A = this chain, B = another copy of it.
Amino acid sequence: MPASVQMGSGQLTIDRTFTVSVAGAHDDMVDRAIDRFKDQLTKQTAILLQKPVDPAHTTLTVRAEHGSQKVLKVGDDESYDLVVNASGAQLTAPNPLGVLHGLETFLQLVSVTPNGFAVPAVTIHDQPRFVWRGTLIDVGRHFIPIDVMKRNIDGMAAVKMNVLHWHIYDNEGFRVESKRFPKLTGEGSDGRFYTQQEIRDFIAYAHDRGVRIMPEFEMPGHSRSMYVGYPELASGPGPYKMEPGAPDAEMDPTREETYKFIDKFLEEMASLFPDQYVHIGGDEVGGKEWEANPKIQTFMREHGMKNKQDLQAYFNQRLQKIVSKHHKIMVGWDEVLHPDLPKTVVVQSWRGQESLASSARQGYRGMLSFGYYLDLMWPAARHYAVEPLSGEGATLNPDEKARILGGESCMWSEFVTPENIDSRIWPRNAAVAERLWSSATMQDPASMYARLNQVSWRLEFLGLTHRTSLRPALDRMSQGSDVAPLRTLADVVEPVKDYTRMENMKGPLDFRAPLNRLVDTARPESEQARNFRNAVQSYLSSNFKDQAAAAQIRTQLALWRDNDPRLRPLLERSFLMGELAPLSADLSSLGFAGLFALDYLEKGVPSPDSWRTQQLAAIDLAGAPRGDLLLMVAPPIRQLVEASGGKTSKP
């Protein structure tokens, strides 16, 4: 939602004569953006734009005051003005970045009308609230190929995000080629990594779309993959292997050779990644290898260090000097915060607004990721409600507030593959993007969802697969049998929330295990369940008078009631689906219970207490997780059953 929108009257028709021309000086970045814009417009509408264009006719005029810069900077002016009326449109911006954003806004405004495709007359002035609007993608735990990364950059650009935080290695795999230290990928990965040429190409791709690439070189923890090839860096005796369940390993901060390695490594990476910022991780250092290493213990005593925090602070100071030597600014997670660190360091908070506010008070710039963890499978509205400047953040003075740069959503990849990653990031990431771009006063989830639905299908025209990838995954499970009953179940379940799936595991997470269960493809937020919940709300709050809602509820309930007999034969044939049998049976039971409740409500006869008690107990069981999945329609059916008793107060 732009900063300022004034609707006009009339509309600008979009047909094959639509043209774009650049006013003022030409800029390659803008020209390429216009080419992409036209391709995208063609995809969204299926209109093949006229070629060659008629030079006498211009529909959209684009002007940027300045040319593009070789490296994007934090705080670059991203504002733009877009004026559309029936005869044409003008897009002006101080920088090409604003042009990119304005073109995305224009695409969002293109809609189908009874008389053709059109953009409504409108005057928009727009700029972001925060300068740092990012997404972290973890490619360490599961490798994500560069083409999948690229389409996610397209998605980020479409929702005006401007930084990809590339968590480029972790314990489970080292994913960036180092020519100086080839054993990093040679022994610290399964052969799945990015070459430097791919990375340069990817950075140029992102730059063209107004997205900075900030790499994360995690130290001293979360870095076991480094020690497979270079065990001398670590604090334990080694050897280190790429195996599931191996304990965390930590860099040895007491040896000078460690800093020589880091210096050489970061020098190479600093020239590969042009962005001014380098993330050094710094989170979740367990310290067990440090404790077990007598030399490190001696070092700590000799330097008067009381605990692992002191040792990490020492490490970070040394690290910061190296980062600084290579003309970069250091970013780290909450744990890096220490009074001895210079105020240039940027703190990324996974801990929350209190931690973030505390660093701002101490003079550090920071950004929020707490509340934006996409891997926790929360609904978009829950992420949307997380505000960097709320809670402790609200108590900051203006100078301190100015230190809050923005935030980043995080896509940790324990259960992520090239096939399902889009569906884990999108469309929910668009809600985080709006939180970071738009006014803090935007708080209505229903209005957010209305926009989210619009953004979601448009993102698929960019090549994202968050909707369409469900079908192939279900086909794999059902092997070409009629997929409809499986889809009916898949549409109303969600993966368990937070860290439940990991907690449910018998052993350690095996990052090599195939991710081909329903939990791996089921959408983090079920649209069908949300629509059903809304219908039940409408029906109940209308005092059972909303007949359209009642009809919709009845159709859905009947579909669910009848689904189990259709699905069951499939479940028995495939080892990937056996775990779904109880969910499928319960969905049918829920359908039955809901239909009975609806019958009572429509007849105006209260349901018997004993029936209701029995049903509510069954519904509570149906709401329990099975196969790491939740049946999301249990709560609204519970509401129907409760309401059928005639005693429940209206919501």
A45, B112: Cβ atoms closer than 8 Å: no
A531 contacts which of B50, B456, B482 (Cβ < 8 Å)? B482
* Contact indicator A112/B576 (Cβ below 8 Å): yes
Does A55 lie at the interface of the complex (its beta carbon under 8 Å from any beta carbon of B)? no
Against B, the Cβ 8 Å flags (1 = close, 0 = not) of A527-557 are 0000100000000000000000001100100
Is A477's CB under 8 angstroms from B48's CB? no
Task: Tell me whether B575 and A115 are in contact (CB under 8 A).
Answer: yes
User: Is the pair A515, B46 in contact by a Cβ cutoff of 8 Å?
Assistant: yes
CB contacts (< 8 Å) of A515 on chain B: these are: 46
Whether B477 lies near A456 (C-beta < 8 A) is: no
The answer to whether A307 has its CB under 8 Å from any CB of chain B is no
Complex interface: chain B residues within 8 A of A417 (CB): 46
Q: Which of B46, B471, B512, B574 contacts A48 (CB 8 A)?
A: B512
Are B456 and A480 interface neighbours, CB within 8 A?
yes
List of B residues within 8 angstroms of A555 by Cβ? 562
Cα of A114 to Cα of B573 in the assembled complex, Å? 5
A479 CB-CB contact with B under 8 Å: yes
- For residue A123, CB closer than 8 A to chain B, the reply is no
Do A112 and B573 touch (CB < 8 A)?
A: yes
What's the interface size class on A, roughly?
35 or more
CB contacts (< 8 Å) of A573 on chain B: these are 112-114
Q: Indicate if the CB atoms of A114 and B574 lie closer than 8 Å.
A: yes
Query: Within the assembled complex, what's the spacing in Å between the Cα atoms of A555 and B190?
Result: 49
The one of B454, B468, B479, B572 that contacts A111, using a Cβ cutoff of 8 Å: B479
- Contact present for B454 and A472 (CB under 8 Å): no
Instruction: Kindly identify which residue among B112, B191, B512 contacts A479, using a CB–CB cutoff of 8 Å.
Output: B112
**Contact sample, A vs B, 17 pairs, CB 8 Å cutoff:** A46-B419, A46-B514, A47-B514, A48-B514, A50-B512, A51-B192, A112-B477, A112-B479, A112-B573, A112-B575, A114-B575, A114-B578, A453-B480, A456-B480, A458-B480, A468-B468, A468-B472
The minimal Cβ–Cβ distance linking A139 to chain B, given in whole angstroms, is 14
Residue-wise, chain A 399-432 has the 8 Å CB interface mask toward B (1 for contact) of: 0000000000000000001010000000000000
A575 touches B461 (CB 8 A): no
Chain A residues close to B by CB (< 8 Å): 16, 43-48, 50-52, 111-116, 190-192, 417, 419, 453-454, 456-458, 460-461, 467-468, 471-472, 475-477, 479-480, 482, 512, 514-516, 520, 531, 551-552, 555, 558, 562, 565-566, 572-576, 578
CA gap between A477 and B46 in the complex, in Å? 10
A480 CB to nearest chain B CB (Å)? 5
- The CA of A419 and the CA of B50, in the complex, are separated in Å by 18
With CB as the reference atom, state the residue of chain B lying closest to A578: B114
Q: A51-B191, A512-B16 are in contact. Are A562 and B572 (CB under 8 A)?
A: no
Instruction: Please measure, in the bound complex, the distance between the C-alpha atom of A226 and the C-alpha atom of B187, giving whole angstroms.
Output: 57
Q: Which B residues touch A460, using CB under 8 A?
A: 471-472, 475
A548 to chain B, nearest CB (A): 8
A516→B45 CA distance, assembly (Å): 7
- 19 new A-B pairs (CB below 8 Å) besides A43-B419, A461-B476, A551-B565? A45-B476, A46-B417, A46-B476, A46-B520, A47-B514, A48-B514, A52-B190, A52-B191, A111-B479, A112-B476, A113-B575, A114-B574, A116-B575, A458-B480, A460-B472, A461-B472, A468-B468, A468-B472, A558-B558
Contact for A516 among B46, B516, B531, B572, CB less than 8 A: B46
Residues on B with beta carbons closer than 8 Å to the beta carbon of A43: 419
Once bound together, how far apart are the Cα atoms of A190 and B53, in whole Å?
Answer: 10
Given contacts A46-B516, A192-B51, A512-B48, contact A114 B480 (CB under 8 A): no
Q: Which of B112, B116, B472, B565 contacts A457 (CB 8 A)?
A: B472
Q: Which residues of B contact A48 (CB under 8 A)?
A: 190, 512, 514
The answer to whether B454 and A480 touch across the interface, beta carbons within 8 angstroms, is yes
- B residues near A476, Cβ cutoff 8 Å: 44-46, 112, 457, 461
CA distance A48 to B111 in the complex (A): 42
- Report Cα–Cα, A575/B460, bound state, in Å: 22
Chain B residues with CB under 8 A of A572: 114
Q: Which 10 A-B pairs have the closest CB atoms?
A: A46-B516, A457-B475, A468-B468, A51-B190, A46-B514, A112-B574, A51-B191, A47-B514, A454-B480, A453-B480
The smallest beta-carbon distance between A387 and chain B, in angstroms, is: 26
* B456 close to A467 (CB less than 8 A): no
User: Which residues from B are CB-within-8-Å of A51?
Assistant: 190-192
CA distance A627 to B239 in the complex (A): 69
Alpha-carbon gap, A578 to B576, bound state (A): 43
| A520 cross-chain contacts in B, Cβ below 8 A | 46
Q: How far is the CB of A14 from chain B (nearest CB, A)?
A: 10
Report the bound CA distance from A541 to B87 in whole Å: 64
Contact A574-B468, Cβ < 8 Å, known A555-B562, A562-B555: no
